Chain A
Amino acid sequence: MNADPMLPARYLVADTRRETHDSVSLRIVPAGEPLPAFRPGQFTMLYRQGVGEIAISVSGDPSAADGSLTQTIRDVGAVSRALCRCEPGDIVGVRGPFGTGWDLESAAGHDLVVVAGGVGLAPLRPVVLGALARRAEFGRVVVITGARNPREFLFREQLAGWADDPRLEVTLTIDQPAAHWHGQVGFVTEPLARQETEPARTIAFLCGPEPMMRFSAEALMARQIPAASIRLSLERNMKCGVGLCGHCQLGPLLICRDGPIVDYETAQPLLAVREL
């Protein structure tokens, strides 16, 4: 095990997969000692030699036993661009996994409502895969995912498979009408508001742009689902990943340590303040 949290472990890029025009999934395998297994919701610090390091959530199957990690990166800056351009055989540095997880275990016996916006589906895929792997432990599994247009959905083939899977209730929605789109149009909050949920037995998992998560959480609370049953994945600037550098503060929280998964009871008053 890599005991120094500041020192990256060498991983080899095994496969790359272009998800959308600006997003790529990398499957990476240890070139030396593997890092500890990740819990859904956790992130790693991914380093591209000579460019830099950023926090990226783990998007792969939590049951993968080969020590590989799958991470989905959206090209929004210098480091993410360099990572998106990785090719099989390239070496990347990885630290982690860090942070809190979605804690799917504690949701056993509940209905799951998974709400994702855009690239926010990446850290939620392990939740859906984890729930499918132990499907009998959960009640309904509702997946609502939105994108700007049909080409912006991550994991499109898998989503098509999920849509046909009777064990899941999947809704895909896009922001604007588009040619050849026969699904929903509108924000995720619309299909979410139509869900017949049982407040006491529902646990929600949200990831996407902050306003989308806030509106989704409010829509759930309007259906009497308690804030404590709504879990969000938050994002702030991360440098160390282990609570030492101070960058990722959101009020009392160090998002790398106390998050990224935080319940809405904690997050609600913090997200309501501008520039906190």
Chain B
Amino acid sequence: MTFPAAVLSMAGLDELISTLAGDGYRVVGPTLRDQAIVLAELTSAGDLPAGWAVQTGPGTYRLKRRADSAVFCHSAGPQSWKQFLHPPDRKLWSADRDGFHPADDRQQPPFAFLGVRACDLAAIDTLAGVLGAGAWPDRSFRGRYRGLFVVAAGCTEPGGVCFCASMGTGPRPGPGYDLALTEQIDQAGHRFVVEAGTEAGAQVIARISHRAAGEAELIAARAAVDAAAAAMGRQMPAVDLAGLLAASRDSVSWEQVAERCLTCGNCTMVCPTCFCTTTRDSSGETGEHAERWQHWASCFELDFSYLHGGSVRSSGESRYRQWITHKLGTWHDQFGRSGCVGCGRCIAWCPVGIDITEEIATLVALREEGAGEAAGD
């Protein structure tokens, strides 16, 4: 079913936030903090980062002032929606003499995410494919995911590290949103063209101030988003990535990248789909009360692959190989899709600027070189 597109003013956007909050949602969206655009609970449209954009490159993320007061014209920041759907630290259970008691996080109000770009919308779906599916889904994740209301934002100004177009996840938001906004600023004013993806989304629009979108307005909004595909700073080589990585387990490139990689795990922390966790057990001094907490873990940690006697992946090259191979290759075997959505965060937040697209290009070049040598023999 399709719903008629609408147009919201800035005041209408503010009404959207207050309406969702009134419906019991915790509205989370972009806001300015600590020289970055982060994600936090919003109380009004005034919390949005009006007039700010970002400049990104390998190992670089800088805010920059805009000439206009656009609120969604910035590419991905250091955080992703994973922060909320798959929290960094979470109690799993507590135990006492009576037994094990699950941590109760069902009472928390649901989230409404405002300003989810296509890459991150795909990332939410990717996370759901790992944590919310399968024989043993993470119930806590599933509860938060099911209650979610998503307001996507069509991306019109991708950044220097963006490559969603080459991952097939954007720039136009794919399915999974309740509402999709496209921000437009011109002589006609500052406005948001809204398309509803669900009945729930359409109902929210019906309750707030809006006007119907004209055909031309809708076409212009979609064209602005589609044009972003050509403005991305990076591109993932169009090869069979899973096949390339499976054939590159013994590549010399791992040693080269390990010379630069600090194995700090920043890429895994900022990645919107890296889902790995570990647990921490603790007990009180008397030993009667114990708790288990789950927190994010990284495949770059030495302990991550620890088995009695040592870690399976002790070298930096094996850990980088694990990360990129899982992200782009073996994720397909495990979960039926790619683990990368092309948001570029791992490139921007790598302290030494290692670029996932460049590393793939290197593997492609090495393979071609190898094939050339084999043919020349």
Contacts and interface: CB of A to CB of B under 8 A. Distances in A.
Interface of A: 4-10, 32, 47, 49-53, 76-77, 80, 93, 235-237, 239-240, 242-247, 249, 251-254, 257, 273-276
Interface string B267-287: 000000001111101110001
Contact of A244 (B246, B275, B314): B275
B276 A245 contact: yes
Contacts, number: 117
- B interface secondary structure, majority: mixed
B65 interface: no
A19 to B, nearest CB: 17
Interface stretch (B50-58, B174-182, B223-231, B326-334): B326-334
Given A7-B102, A237-B304, A273-B249, A50 B277 contact: no
Chain B interface residue count: which class? Answer: 35 or more
Contact of B100 (A7, A51, A237, A254): A7
A53 B279 contact: yes
Interface of B: 92-93, 95, 99-100, 102, 130-131, 134-136, 138-139, 246, 249-250, 275-279, 281-283, 287, 290, 292, 297, 299, 304-309, 312-315, 317-318, 322, 325-326, 329-330, 333-334
Nearest to B245: A251
B297 A247 contact: yes
25 contacts: A6-B93, A7-B93, A49-B290, A50-B290, A53-B281, A76-B309, A237-B305, A237-B307, A240-B279, A242-B136, A244-B138, A244-B275, A245-B276, A245-B277, A246-B276, A247-B304, A249-B299, A251-B325, A252-B246, A252-B333, A254-B334, A273-B250, A274-B318, A276-B312, A276-B322
Contact of A237 (B306, B317, B333): B306
Given A8-B100, A236-B307, A254-B334, A243 B287 contact: no
A77 B308 contact: yes
Given A51-B281, A236-B307, A245-B276, 6 more contacts: A93-B95, A245-B278, A246-B276, A247-B276, A249-B322, A275-B315
B330 A249 contact: yes
Contact of B136 (A47, A77, A243): A243
- A interface secondary structure, majority: loop
A242 to B, nearest CB: 4
Contact of B330 (A243, A247, A251, A257): A251
Nearest to A258: B334
Contacts of B249: 251, 273, 276
A73 B45 CA distance: 58
Given A236-B312, A237-B305, A249-B322, A32 B277 contact: no
Contacts of A4: 102, 139
A276 B318 contact: yes
B132 to A, nearest CB: 10
Contacts of B325: 251
